Amino acid sequence: MDRLSHVVVFGECMVELVNQGKDTLTKGYAGDTYNTAVYLKRCTPGTSVSFLTSIGADFLSNELLFKMGEEEINTDLVYRSETRNLGLYMVQTDEHGERTFAYWRDNSAATQTMNLKGDTPLSADLFYFSGISLAILDEIQRCKLFALIKTIRETGGKVVFDPNYRPRLWQSRKEARIWTDLAYANADIAFPGGDDHLALYDHTDVDAIHAHVTALGVAEIVVKNGAAGVHIFTKGNHCIVPVERVARVVDTTAAGDAFNGGYLAARISGKSVTESAGYGAKVAATVISFPGAIVDKGAFSTRVNTASSVSP
């Protein structure tokens, strides 16, 4: 992949409240595409990463802006809603380590991003979005998003898509399939996950996933499947990259998001698809060794070198 200097990541970042005991919560900021933006930037600091989203006028929104500054993510594409707030979710872990999520995101500021953005022009060398970015928009805004994606591709930008299927964000599985297929049809790189494709399309193996996504025209397909290894399909080539064993998995939240960030950082740094998958797996392995979606920056950097400094 040619060196790409300007990445735009589109989606929603929410307030994350994690239950730490009976009446104690810790607060963070996370969301699938935001997590990818954070890890992509940490892994390739020389790349400009902008997060396209909307926030509110509330104090939590201000705090998120500050966090984005700490992560050196550009806030030039963050719009403000005067009437809506940030979405919020809460994670509770039971005594067996099983996690339960509760969401308050239905009317969040981020559901209005394409309306708030209006016709402001936007360019990107690489544009990243997910099935969640798409699901939270109404149909008119989804069409605006695809119009934007069309202009980005016409001007030479590459588009990356992760389906991240969340049934409760869609009216029906049929609706989710239609829009997810349209997203694949407009993507150059895709990150289908085994669980997502089973739930959304009843695909039970990698071959079925590959056949479906290839038929929609995606040139670089990276199939993730937890600890089972990564399958990459490019122009008739198929390779399998094993995933390193993690001695103690603490919290798998954001594993896929972190993988995507690492993979793209390595591709932007000129690495091959197999090198990039190995690096993405290393980033994901680090993230699942700590609690929460966003791992402390210091702890992360002691374990993961930047993508450009990693040798094959």
Which amino acids are annotated catalytic? 257
Alpha helices, DSSP H, located in 71-186: 113-117, 131-135, 139-154, 173-185
Give the count of residues interacting with ligand ADP (CB under 6 A).
18
Residue 6 one-letter amino acid = H
149 or 287: whose CB is closer to ligand ADP?
287
**In the complex, least distance from residue 250 CB atom to ligand ADP, rounded to whole angstroms:** 11
- The answer to whether the CB of 273 falls within 8 A of the CB of 281 is no
182 or 246: whose CB is closer to ligand ADP?
246
252 lies in the site for ligand ADP, by CB under 6 A: yes
Q: For residues 193-212, which are near ligand ADP according to CB under 6 A?
A: 193, 195
CB burial readout 145-159, b (16+ within 10 A) else e: beebbeebeeeebbb
152 lies in the site for ligand ADP, by CB under 6 A: no
256 lies in the site for ligand ADP, by CB under 6 A: yes
**In the complex, least distance from residue 232 CB atom to ligand ADP, rounded to whole angstroms:** 11
246 lies in the site for ligand ADP, by CB under 6 A: yes
Alpha helices, DSSP H, located in the chain: 32-43, 59-70, 113-117, 131-135, 139-154, 173-185, 194-201, 206-215, 255-268, 273-287, 297-303
259 lies in the site for ligand ADP, by CB under 6 A: yes
**In the complex, least distance from residue 238 CB atom to ligand ADP, rounded to whole angstroms:** 16
Other CB atoms within a 10 A radius of the CB of residue 214 amount to 15
**In the complex, least distance from residue 165 CB atom to ligand ADP, rounded to whole angstroms:** 10
Which among 14, 40, 22, 30 is positioned nearest to 283, based on CA atoms?
40
Interface positions with ligand ADP (CB under 6 A): 193, 195, 224-227, 230, 243, 246, 249, 252, 255-256, 259, 281, 284-285, 288
